Structure 1
């Protein structure tokens, strides 16, 4: 009986505390409170995260890159969020102020009661982004409060805190910068690296026409690495009637230009269902056949290295006459794009061809020269990007456009004569950036469209991206001269 007498007051106290908490939960009581998200499983409601009922929950239709949000008809002040997960499926998450794109907190688990204290902010919408989970997660409650005392700023020593610029497990920048390396830096260096057509029992073929490239791909021994050395001008007319060259359903291939002789004039390359591919020392231009991209990757594809090429179209045509210089869609991963000269293009580099192209792409761009281009430098949906030591000049409309929850580390780049070099425009969800050591000169920042976010003029990070690889990083003051001297074709002895 003693335990029964004790149980009632404890239960009463619990109910009283719960009622008080729910009364102050702005996700329920705030002006015009509501909820939305990126997807939901059958029979699930977004509003379940704000119904004060731990037995109901929001569950998305996929495990990763999913969002649930609480929102209001007018901005509220807040300094605490309480997340309650039914189960423990979440393995990576972040909390974002949708109004500004600022990451407020992140972590590797949620569990039954994750309390997030932040400095007091004003917001009309908060996003909980599930970056990854072991199975489709169940978020029971997304509670929002304005506590007395103004909240607590995030701990800068917490390695998952967005204010912490260094992950102690991240390999540091290391070594000398080598422009003619035999192996890639960046994401293409992961999981054994990218070797293309090199290796035991490798076959090398020299091609002077497109028909000879087709024959080399069609007749290859799939058990032996293949290198095609291109020595001549490749056109639709000498390519046997194809509209593009498909590196498809095969692995371990390199296509490498000889000296300054390899020109793909009006026809491009497509990598599709292929892994461990290298494309180096080629000129590609004026592609308006096939996919209308000079180089396009379509997943599943991984460990791709695009290095020391010159790729261009023209700005003296309609913006839709050509498509991208280099692009990727679907499940493309572990790609490095380095030392390329990318110029005279309306639509330059697209990664993720729509807001529903939801894959965790990981792409590195380093030591490229982007010149006289309109936009998409790159346009990046979902996944993670690392853009370092690039030189941007004469950008007309927008530069790096991070969208749909993408996180891009933008590091020691030079932006010269550019308009809106870093933005999040034209998608239903914002992307994020981790900016470090960049230089801007003669830059115009112009806010557009109404739902978009520009990074400047006072450029600040909205996220942190820690990297799984080491790399050599040039000081920003040396980037322009180094890129001008080394990007493009005929710079190395391949």
Structure 2
């Protein structure tokens, strides 16, 4: 593995009785925190602020809410929970909407907020399509496995797609994911084309896809731009993080992990300002690729950790191995940059759905902002994964700060495709497994840290695999606690630099998704 290098720059018809409908709840803005980036320009992005708030648990209910408004521009906030899929999504007709059965259709409308609440909102194999629309906020939802081929199909294979004169869209704290690339039937996670402008994608996760997303569908589709990408995680992506064709993009404080073919592909005259991002275990993370029509970039403060670069030639023009600015880009809005070195930590705590809508305070510290408008306190989303099994029903869940976030980790030999770092990334979809049926995983700090409680959370599909275990003070080898089964484990408060969870027996291959540590 290469040593990290910091490089500065030069310069929503009737609804059937069995289908839930949208019901009025209250008048308030559901969005938390402030709009950022280019979505603040061109008059700003307010979504459904000031409009009625309704609740929807089906795609049909979302469409009904849109079609029940006085006009196509009447503000509305739609709070969504549960799983939205083809089975509960039908076309609804009305004067204030233009919907479809195979997607969530936000077409020829404006002034909408779509926000996940309660235990989470998942759009399963059903994409969100924005067309001829403006002033829309999408927040705190998961969109997964949207296909353009196979069955079912939706939205041309895009998780979120925008096209044909779209303005002022803020997509925030969402998780967009696929299960493969174009050959498996998937397309882009976040695609903008045909005159789409003033868009921000923030605090989101894009993963497990062949294509992250694009701005512009072809080298002649150059009417798009003014897009901001910040505090997002791109993980296990082949390319397009994003692909830029013309226009201007501001790309800062993103964490890129496992980009297999290429990353930010600026081409056909696009100009990108690329600031304080962290690129890790990736290839050709910036440049012009697969075309001879060049794009441009202004770079500053990025970290390239185990990044490899192709040799230039033909339609391959990587910016590295020593990226330098070849343009300047003026940014018209204020923003605060986190240091690139803390981007992995702050993004792991804030990015994606069901993270409590936390944002960075600009100094590498997550915070939950107060609502921007008066009204009832927002519902704090809870993770959709099962609660961990605890050693005894009377053991309270951990509280306080998870000290593992931002710490280090190591362990015994790991199974192929797993990682020590996955136990401290706040993501239940990733995990560490030992190379065999037993093994150990440790959390470590640079200075002595007091710990009195840990929480071992098993990944989905592996609950109950962990048998007996020991918790060890790795500084001196002292055994702090023994027992069996995953969950919350308490012991006397101990000051240490490294704490080890050693699995001594198991009923199947253990999968530790999160190894949380707490002071009390």
User: Deviation string for 1:23-81 (max 9, x for gaps)?
Assistant: xxxxxxxxxxxxxxxxxxxxxxxxxxxxxxxxxxxxxxxxxxxxxxxxxxxxxxxxxxx
Give the Cα–Cα distance (whole angstroms) in 2 for the partners of residues 164 and 459 of structure 1.
9
The structure that has the greater radius of gyration is: 1
Check if 1:211 corresponds to 2:211: no
Partner of 1:271: 130
Check if 1:197 corresponds to 2:48: yes
Q: Which runs of 5+ in 2 are unaligned?
A: 1-8, 12-30, 92-100, 148-153, 358-377, 379-520
Partner of 2:350: 486
Check if 1:459 corresponds to 2:304: no
Check if 1:358 corresponds to 2:222: yes
Check if 1:238 corresponds to 2:88: yes
Answer whether contact 2:292 2:314 (CA < 8 A) is retained.
no
Answer whether contact 1:280 1:309 (CA < 8 A) is retained.
yes
Partner of 1:182: 33
Give the Cα–Cα distance (whole angstroms) in 2 for the partners of residues 423 and 181 of structure 1.
35
Check if 1:294 corresponds to 2:159: yes
Give the Cα–Cα distance (whole angstroms) in 2 for the partners of residues 437 and 221 of structure 1.
49
Answer whether contact 2:10 2:324 (CA < 8 A) is retained.
no
User: Deviation string for 1:246-303 (max 9, x for gaps)?
Assistant: 1111111011001442000010111111111000000100111232111001131111
RMSD: 1.7
- Alignment size in residue pairs: 315
Please show how residues 324-343 of structure 1 align to structure 2 within 5 Å.
324-343=188-207
Please show how residues 388-467 of structure 1 align to structure 2 within 5 Å.
388-447=252-311, 450-467=314-331
Q: Which runs of 5+ in 1 are unaligned?
A: 1-162, 166-179
DSSP-derived class of the 2:235 partner: strand
Give the Cα–Cα distance (whole angstroms) in 2 for the partners of residues 254 and 318 of structure 1.
30
Task: Give the TM-score normalised by structure 1.
Answer: 0.62
Partner of 1:346: 210
Give the Cα–Cα distance (whole angstroms) in 1 for the partners of residues 257 and 161 of structure 2.
24
Normalized per residue, the structure richer in helix is: 1
Once the two structures are overlaid, the 10-residue window that deviates more, 394-403 or 214-223, is 214-223
User: Deviation string for 1:202-236 (max 9, x for gaps)?
Assistant: 11111111111111122222253111111110011
Answer whether contact 2:46 2:111 (CA < 8 A) is retained.
yes
Give the Cα–Cα distance (whole angstroms) in 1 for the partners of residues 347 and 157 of structure 2.
27
Give the Cα–Cα distance (whole angstroms) in 2 for the partners of residues 333 and 326 of structure 1.
14
Give the Cα–Cα distance (whole angstroms) in 2 for the partners of residues 462 and 383 of structure 1.
15
Check if 1:228 corresponds to 2:87: no
Give the Cα–Cα distance (whole angstroms) in 1 for the partners of residues 242 and 32 of structure 2.
24
User: Deviation string for 1:367-392 (max 9, x for gaps)?
Assistant: 00111111100001000000000000
Give the Cα–Cα distance (whole angstroms) in 1 for the partners of residues 201 and 122 of structure 2.
19
Task: Give the TM-score normalised by structure 2.
Answer: 0.59
Once the two structures are overlaid, the 10-residue window that deviates more, 331-340 or 282-291, is 282-291
Of residues 242, 247, 250, the one that matches 1:378 is 242
Give the Cα–Cα distance (whole angstroms) in 2 for the partners of residues 361 and 320 of structure 1.
29
